[in-house]
Amino acid sequence: MTTETKARPAAAEPPLPKPVPQARQSRPARLLQAARSALAFALKAPMTLGFVVLLLGIALVTRTTGTDIDDTLLRRVGTGAAALADGRWWTPVTYTFWCVSPTALLATVVLALVLLAPAEHRLGRAATAGLFALCQIGGALAGAGLIELGSRGGDLWLSDARTDVGVGPSVGIVGVGLALSATLTALWRRRLRLVLITGALLFPLYDGWGHDVMLLCGAVIGLLAGVLVWGRARRRRERGPSPTAPDIGDADTGDTDTGEAADGPDAGASRGLDGGRLRRVNITSHAETRVLVALFVAATALGSLLAWLSNSTSGPLALYNELFVGQGPSASDIATTCAGAAATASECLQIRAEDLLAGSPAALVLFVPALLLLIVAEGLRRGRRIAWGAALVLEAGFAVVIWRYTAYIVLPTLDASAPDATELHRFVIRYSVLLAVIPAVAIVVLLLTRGHFNVRAPRWTLLKLAGVAALTFVVAGACYIKFGYDASDQFTPEPTFGQVVADFPKRLLPPAYLGPLNVPDAAFIPEGGVAKALYEYTGPVFWVITLGGLLLSFWRSTAKTKEGAETDAGNLLAEYGGSTLSYMTTWPGHAYWISADGTAAVAYRVIGNIALTTGGPYGEPAARAAAVGAFAEYCDGEGWSPCFYSVTAPAKEAADALGWSSVQVAEDTVLSLPGLEFKGKKWQDVRTALNKASRADITAQWYTFPTAPLAIQEQIRALSEEWVADKGLPEMGFTLGGLDELDDPLVRCLVAVDGKGRLHGVTSWLPSFEQAAPVGWTLDFMRRSADGFSGVMEFLIASAALGFQQEGARFMSLSGAPLARVDRGSQPEGLQRFLDVAGRAMEPVYGFRSLLAFKAKFQPEYQPMYMLYPDPATLPAIGNAIGRAYLPHTTPGQLIRLSRKLVG
């Protein structure tokens, strides 16, 4: 209930909603419920379930669950260009039901459950089956045709791929997934397509088998089918009028329209409220541009990692794997290089050094380029300007390295006397140009999207990162040079001091970069223990510290509150108020956002990458709805994802107009004070508590904690410590105050004290203001003595209600009960069901549902409190942020005890 709510005249009371059942389920009951949920999911996608069972059954029968598929069976059921040319016409069908390895089988099952099951539910069983067959068979035929054409055209890669025989239903599954994307909202449509299309491109380029080419063809077929069939229908629906979000255009935002913005309310672009109208704020497009650029920058590293994981050299770009993920030389390479050469020859020393590095912890240095690309991509995803600059430098550097590697390493090693030397030379040039085009295009993309990467890290963060990297370089170099020269007799041949100094930078570079950068070959290799330790650990230590610092600098989020914002927020709170929780925004740990016109404020804290608010916007009532979209736009500029937590219905309505998601996280319980009387049977428990306190000579006394007598203060502290010690569990924070929040002259404490001055219970009450005067109060801190009289809380709350009523307050809130809600007759789904389960699981520990049932004694008005978020993909990060906000000082021992209570 907000402070602007007017008192209601006395009227016949509606029947009270029934609290959600509080009884905790036994472990067998929970397992049974989980089994029922899994069965219900399976029944919604019987075709997918049957297909998975069929795959597993065939694998069991043919004994391919633990080993790779037998070559004879593979040739019989697998498909490819050569297989079709040889007349095995049935293989485009039979290759569907086998997987090449146990790992592929597991990945296929997961892929089927993730893509086929939602498609079956959304598109229908017949459409999904038809799409799968079209993409699976069509992808095989199109892929085989493409390979045949490329082979006849003389392409060495496709000539080699012609004889490949592949199996696996991933071709059809990916095609169905891309067709499914056409029915989704713009946010999920873009993301699903990004993942699937990127994978479909990387597999043929870096893995390079014939089945990968078929995968790409099946993906194209599915994408076209989805766009032509379901995409048109979706666009027709979205062009229709929207009752909640009329499309008014982008005139106020200045953001570049990415083409998806015109998709209507499902486009995922937020809309802010402007003078009662909705203006489009292209927030999602802004954030999605970052994701697109980050994925593109990471693609080089992802592709080379894919080739390394698959141990494949078939892809046309696998030739350059060692530029990004080195694998070290083979034994035959070493034997060939060192045969007939002296033991100290530079070529032999170099390849032996590479072998030593690849088989030791120093192998981490081989992965540095890929790791660096992935870390920079993470910074781009978060909108960091420093990551944009680093990506620009890296891409330019990679373009130069690729050119030099081709010119000075690859081409000189080609055998000019080989029969296909000319075609091999053309092959290398062709795909070298293709690989060099990737960083060139990335540079263009980065330059065009520069305005999307404007999140600057605090200066001290950059200085600290530079200082840590420089100090690590100096310390690692000093240790390597000093101890390496002292143990010079453990190297072969024994180096001079100058050679040890010159060798240190080589320990920080991947071996594949030494040639293109014209770094001299290795002058010596280690033989003894100290020498090997220095040789193998210097590079990893330096890079672990440097890369870790770089990643932390991207992760670190600092909420920057403008000077005077806290004062302005406090003035708005005092003048206009907000929700029943708004006074909690004065607690320490908040940053404050003030609207441009100074009429609304939002209190938030940044945890991870989430800007988590405490309640909704407050300030002038007419400005609160617009503040939802404006604050989200501000967060997007800072690289955060907003999450409004414990907000009321008006804020939810504003978020609904923006196309956000919401879920109920608590239940507020509000009493209207004018005309309140504890008469009738339903107030029996409250009257009993009041009478019992009177007979026991217990009185309710008002204090503020800072001015309370020392004896009262100490007893309140003792009650609180007793509560924490008794549970042995972490005391929660965030929207649940403790002793620190009690120590506030504007927070009132009502204590139950007997004739001997002994404290039986205490409650604290937070004010809700209008025109600088409290018009309502919210219950926060509650503690009762273990040996105090029963009914002390009923006594204190009833006494507070009567006292506030006499003062002229309009309402009293018993505050929200987290993870508890009343049963309004609707069937919970998805996240709401998960939160209900979590609430039941935590009931024995924190008793939120018991608390809600207790508050029902006061016949309150139930008002749901919601969590609002624009991007469902951030739910894991939001969950982490909320957990850290509620349990900021949890010890490992408390976590262990908490887990035992939850499981036990």
- pLDDT tens per residue, range 233-279: 766 665 554 433 333 233 333 333 333 333 333 333 333 333 333 33
* DSSP per-residue string spanning 607-666: ETTEEEESSS-EESGGGHHHHHHHHHHHHHHHT-EEEEEEE-HHHHHHHHHTT-EEEEEE
- CATH number (domain holding residue 60): 1.20.1540.10
Give the type of residue at 318: A
CB neighbours (10 Å) of residue 287? 24
CB neighbours (10 Å) of residue 802? 16
The domain boundary residue, chosen from 212, 240, 268: 240
Within-domain flag for 703? no
Secondary structure (3-state) at 807: helix
Domain check: are 196 and 302 in the same one?
Answer: no
Within-domain flag for 446? yes
CB neighbours (10 Å) of residue 360? 17
Q: Read off the tokens for 212.
A: 């990968």
- What are the residue ranges of helices labelled H in 339-420? 346-358, 363-366, 368-381, 385-405
716 neighbors 749 (Cβ within 8 angstroms): yes
634 forms bridges with which residues in the sheet? none
Q: What region does 815 belong to: left with phi over 0, alpha with psi -120 to 50, or beta?
A: left
> How far is the C-alpha of 139 from the C-alpha of 222, rounded, in Å?
9
Within-domain flag for 634? yes
Phi/psi of residue 454, nearest 5 degrees: -120, 15
Secondary structure (3-state) at 603: strand
670 forms bridges with which residues in the sheet? 813, 861
Burial (CB < 10 A; 0-12, 13-18, 19+), residue 22, is middle
Q: Which residues contact 169 (CB under 8 A, 6 or more apart)?
A: 51, 55, 96, 97, 108, 112, 132, 136
> Before 493, cis peptide (omega within 30)?
yes
Within-domain flag for 851? no
Burial annotation 441-470 (CB, 10 A radius, 16+ → b, else e): ebbebbeebeebbebebeeebeebbeebbe
Domain check: are 205 and 310 in the same one?
Answer: no
Range of the domain at 597: 565-662
Torsional sign, CA 468, 472, 478, 481: negative
Q: Which residues contact 239 (CB under 8 A, 6 or more apart)?
A: 264
Pairing of strands 773-784, 618-619: unpaired
Domain check: are 294 and 414 in the same one?
Answer: yes
> How far is the C-alpha of 408 from the C-alpha of 376, rounded, in Å?
28
Least Cα distance to 717 among 740, 750, 734, 748 occurs for 740
Q: Give residue 225's pLDDT.
A: 93
Tokens 């939602």 locate to 118
CA distances from 464 to 210, 378, 559, 639 (A): 49, 20, 18, 21
Q: Give residue 93's pLDDT.
A: 95
DSSP 79: B
Pairing of strands 811-813, 773-784: parallel
Pairing of strands 277-281, 600-607: unpaired
> Before 511, cis peptide (omega within 30)?
no
Task: Report how far Cα 452 is from the mean position of its chain's Cα atoms.
Answer: 20
647 forms bridges with which residues in the sheet? 866
Q: Which residues of the chain have pLDDT under 70?
A: 1-42, 187, 234-288, 304, 307, 310-313, 319-328, 330, 340-346, 359, 413-421, 457-458, 512, 515-518, 521, 556-563, 723-732, 817-848, 888-904
> How far is the C-alpha of 547 from the C-alpha of 465, rounded, in Å?
10
Secondary structure (3-state) at 328: coil
Domain check: are 156 and 299 in the same one?
Answer: no
766 forms bridges with which residues in the sheet? 778
Q: How many domains does the chain have?
A: 3
Within-domain flag for 306? yes
Q: Read off the tokens for 520.
A: 């001299």
Domain check: are 85 and 171 in the same one?
Answer: yes
> How far is the C-alpha of 294 from the C-alpha of 301, rounded, in Å?
11
Secondary structure (3-state) at 712: helix
> How far is the C-alpha of 117 from the C-alpha of 111, rounded, in Å?
9
Q: Which residues contact 812 (CB under 8 A, 6 or more apart)?
A: 670, 671, 673, 776, 777, 778, 779, 800, 801, 804
Q: What region does 564 belong to: left with phi over 0, alpha with psi -120 to 50, or beta?
A: left
822 forms bridges with which residues in the sheet? 19
Domain check: are 299 and 170 in the same one?
Answer: no
Domain check: are 312 and 393 in the same one?
Answer: yes
Within-domain flag for 52? yes
761 forms bridges with which residues in the sheet? 752, 784
Q: Give residue 716's pLDDT.
A: 86
Domain check: are 581 and 649 in the same one?
Answer: yes
Q: Give residue 152's pLDDT.
A: 87
606 forms bridges with which residues in the sheet? 611
Secondary structure (3-state) at 17: coil
Give the type of residue at 106: L
Please report, for the chain, how many H helices and E strands are present, in that order.
Answer: 34, 19
End-to-end alpha carbon distance in the chain: 37
Domain check: are 292 and 235 in the same one?
Answer: no
> How far is the C-alpha of 231 from the C-alpha of 550, rounded, in Å?
41
Domain check: are 290 and 409 in the same one?
Answer: yes
> How far is the C-alpha of 744 from the C-alpha of 767, rounded, in Å?
11
Q: Nearest 5 degrees, angle CA 569-CA 572-CA 573? A: 85
Domain check: are 103 and 223 in the same one?
Answer: yes
Within-domain flag for 316? yes
Q: Read off the tokens for 894.
A: 């408390």
Domain check: are 156 and 290 in the same one?
Answer: no
The domain boundary residue, chosen from 413, 429, 456: 456
The domain boundary residue, chosen from 240, 269, 303: 240
Within-domain flag for 142? yes
DSSP 384: B
777 neighbors 765 (Cβ within 8 angstroms): yes
